[in-house]
Amino acid sequence: MYLKEGCSLLLKVQKPSIPLVLNTSINSPVLNAIQKSDKNSKKDSVFIKEYEVLKRLKNECDVTSALEYFKYVANVGYFKHTPLTYRMMIEKLGKNQDMDAVQYLLQQMKLEGIPCSEDIFISVIKSYRQCGAAEQALRTFYRIQDFGCKVTVKIYNHLLDALLCESRFHMLNPIYDNMKKDGLEPNVYTYNILLKALCKNNRLDGAHKLLVEMSNKGCSPDVVSYTTIVSSMCKNGNVKEARKLALGFRPSVPIYNSLINGFCSDGDLNMAFELIDEMISNGLSPNVVTYTTILNALAHSEDVRICFAILAKMFTSGVSPNIQTFTCLIGGLSLEGKFIEAFDVWDRMIREGILPNVITYNTLIHGLCLAGNLPQALSVFNQMNYCGCIPNVTTFSTLIDGFANFGDLSGASEIWNKMISSGCRLNVVAYTAMVDVLCRSMMFDRACKLIERMRMENCPPNTVTYNVVIKHLCSNGKVDGAMQFFEEMKQYGCACNVTTYNVLVDGFLKVKNFRAAFELLMDMEEKGYLTSVTFNTIIDGLFHAALVEMALLFVGKMMVKGIKPDTYTLNILINGYCKCGKVESAIKLVDTMRAIRWQPNLIAYTSLICGICESIDVESACMYLQRMTHEGMSPNIAIWNVLVRRLFCEKGFKASVTYLNVVMDYALSKESQLVKPNIYKDVCKFGGRLIVISV
C-alpha cells in the first residue's frame, strides 16, 4: 500500500475536554479586558444593574468569556447575582454541555440562599436531555427540594420526556406514579408523552386505554394525541387499520400527513394522492409537510418529471417549499444517481432564497459517496466550508465511509485529521468508519488501538463496530482473532446480533473448522437467531467442502424450521451441484422449480451452463443458452468465455469459430427479443488461451 505524496497515516486524536474550573484568575486576559471596559464605562458608578448583566451574558457568544464575566462581577463586589442571571448562565453552560459547571452553579445558588425557580430546573433537565444523560437529570430531580424549588407538572413533563428520548420505558411508570402521589394532576402534555412512550414500545393496546383514561379524567385528547397513535400504527405497517381508526377522529392536517406518510412508505402512492383529494374535500389545505412527504416518495421513483410537477403545484398553491422539501428531493435524486437533476434542484433552492444547511450538504455528499464520486463529494465539502456552513460529525463520517468503501486509507486519514482539527465531537459512527478503513487496509493493530481509544474517550464501540472488525478478520482467514473480539463483545456487555453470528459461522466454514461453526449454530438456535441467511451460509460452506449430503440435510432442516428457501438458496444448490459434478441434479432442480413457476436468474443460468459445459457437452449447454435468451436474459461474458474454451477443446479452432457464430447469431436474433450486446464475435488465440473480447 502506498500513500499519496504529503499524506500521513498518523491519525490525530481528540484532546480530552477540560472542565471549566470556577475560580477567578487575576491574570486572565478575559478579565483584564472586562476590567478595562468597566473602568472606562463605570467611573462614577459602583453597582451594575441586573439588566446590564443579563444583556452582557446574552450577547457574549463565547461561553468561557461569559463565565469569566459572571464570576468577575460578583467577586469585585459590583453585583449580587439573581435567579435570572444564574438562569442565563446555567442555560449557556447547558447548551455547551458543561454539566459539571451547571451543577457547581446550582450548589452556589444553594449556598447563597438563592431559590431555584421552575424555569432553572427545566433548563437543567433539558440540557441533560440534549447530552443524552437522562439518569443525571433524574438525580438532579430528586434534589429539587434541597434547592427550595417546588415540584410542578411542567418539571415532571420535561423529566418524562428526557427519559423517553433514551427509551428508558421502565422508569416512566414509577415517575408517573410519583407524580400522582405528589397530588399533581397530569395534563394533556403528560398524557401525550406517555402515549408516545407506549407507541414507541409497541404497546398500542395500552395507548388506546390511556386515551380512555384521559377522557374519563376530563382531559380531552388533542390532535397530538390522535396523531401519535395513527403515526405509530403506520410505522408498524398497520396503515389500513390506522386509516380506519382515523375515520373516528376529527379530520386534521397532521393526521392526514401521518396517513400519507404511511401509504408512501408502503409504496401505495395512489392512495396517498387520494388522501390529498380527501383533505381538500374536507376543507383542509395540504401544507408543506404533505407535499414534502409525497416528494420524498416520488424522488425514489423512476419518473423525475412528476417530482418537478409536484414542486410546481406547491408554488401555484401558495405553499412555499422549505429546506426539508428541497433536501428530501435532492436526497432522493442523488441516491438514484440523478445528479444533474439534484444540482438543478440545488440551484432552484438558492434562487428561492433558501440556503442549504448542514443536513442538505450531508445528503448530497452521501449520495455522491454512494455513487463513488469522491472528487465531487470533496468539492461539495469544500464549498460547504467556503459558504460558512460548519461540517458536523455526520459530514466527516460520510466522507470517511466513502473512502473506506474504495480502500483509500490516505483519503480517509486526511478527513479524520480535518475532523479532529475542527474540534468536531467524535461519535461511534465516525470511529466505526475509521475502524472499517483500517481493517480494509489490513491494519488490524491500528484498528484495535482505535477501539481502545473509543473506550478512553467514553465512546464505547457498539455492535456495528465489532461486526466490522469481525467481518474483516474472517474475510482474511483470521477466525481466531475474530473469536477474541466476539468474546470481548460479551465481556464489555455489547450485544451480539444475528449478523455477528452469521459472519463468524461463514468464517469458520471457509477455514473448514466445522466444529466451531456448528457450536455457534447451536448457540444461534437457542437465541432464535436462525434465518435464511444463516442456512444459506451453512449450505454454501458445506457444498464448497464437497459435503453434499450434509448440505442437503440442512436444506431439509431449513424447511422443517418453516424458513422457505429463497432465490439465494436455489442458486447455491445449483452452483453446489455443478461444482461437485452432480450436474444432472442441478438440471432436475431447475426443471422442478420451473414447474412451480420459479424463474432462474442470470446467476443460476451461469452456474448451470458452466457446469453442463464441463460435465456433459457444449450442445447441451447451448440448449440452456437458447432458453435463457428466450426468457429475455443477456448471457454475460463468463458464459461466453466458458463456451469458447469448451468449443476449442472439443471441436478445434475453425469449428469452434463457426459454431460460436451460429450460437451468437441466434442469441442476437429478433426472436430472442434482446438488445444487441456490444460483443466482438472474434475468438482470439493468445498465450495459449482463448478469450472473448468485450467492449
- pLDDT, tens only, 383-395: 988 888 999 999 9
Q: And the C-alpha cell for 592?
A: 422442478
Q: For residues 435 and 447, give the distance between their C-alpha atoms in angstroms, rounded to a whole number.
A: 5
Neighbours of 636 (CB within 10 A): 14
Q: And the C-alpha cell for 4?
A: 499519496
pLDDT band at 72 (very low <50, low <70, confident <90, very high): confident
Please report which residue ranges of 42-82 form alpha helices under DSSP H.
50-59, 63-75
* pLDDT score for 378: 93
pLDDT band at 650 (very low <50, low <70, confident <90, very high): low
Please report which residue ranges of 247-301 form alpha helices under DSSP H.
253-265, 269-281, 288-298
CATH architecture label of 35-184: Alpha Horseshoe (1.25)
Give CA angle at 276 (270, 277), nearest 5°: 90
The partner residues of 685 in beta bridges, in order of sequence, read: 690
pLDDT cut 90: percent of the chain above it = 26
Are 332 and 365 spatial neighbours (Cβ–Cβ below 8 Å)?
Answer: no
* pLDDT score for 497: 92
Are 231 and 258 spatial neighbours (Cβ–Cβ below 8 Å)?
Answer: yes
Which residues lie closer than 8 Å to 264 by C-beta, 6 or more apart? 272, 293, 294, 296, 297
Q: For residues 17 and 30, give the distance between their C-alpha atoms in angstroms, rounded to a whole number.
A: 20
* pLDDT score for 288: 93
515 φ, ψ to 5°? -65, -50
- CB crowding 363-385: b at 16 or more within 10 Å, else e: bbbbbbbbbebbebbbebbeebe
* pLDDT score for 660: 57
Beta strands, E only, 139-248: none
pLDDT in tens, 294-335: 988 887 766 677 888 888 888 888 898 999 999 988 988 888
Estimate to the nearest angstrom the gap between the alpha carbon of 529 and the chain centroid: 22
Q: Mutual orientation of helices 223-235 and 204-216 as an angle, nearest 10°? A: 170
Greater pLDDT, 622 or 175: 175
- CB crowding 388-425: b at 16 or more within 10 Å, else e: ebebbbbbbbbbbbbbbbeebbbbbbbbbbbbbeeebe
Are 554 and 538 spatial neighbours (Cβ–Cβ below 8 Å)?
Answer: yes
Q: And the C-alpha cell for 254?
A: 397532521
Return the half-sphere exposure (C-beta side, CA atoms, 13 A cut-off) of residue 256: 26
Q: Is the dihedral of CA 575, 581, 582, 587 positive or negative?
A: positive
Position 625 pLDDT exceeds 70: yes
How far is CA 506 from each of CA 510, 527, 574, 578, 640, rounded to the nearest angstrom? 6, 18, 19, 21, 31
pLDDT band at 681 (very low <50, low <70, confident <90, very high): very low
Host H or E run for residue 686: strand 679-686
**Domain residue ranges of the chain, discontinuous segments joined by +:** 35-184, 637-695
Average pLDDT, integer, range 57-70: 87
Q: And the C-alpha cell for 110?
A: 444553594
pLDDT in tens, 449-500: 999 999 888 889 999 999 999 999 999 999 999 999 999 998 888 889 999 9
pLDDT in tens, 91-147: 888 888 888 888 888 888 888 888 888 888 888 898 888 888 888 888 888 888 888
Q: For residues 87 and 123, give the distance between their C-alpha atoms in angstroms, rounded to a whole number.
A: 8
Average confidence score pLDDT of the chain:
82
Position 16 pLDDT exceeds 70: no
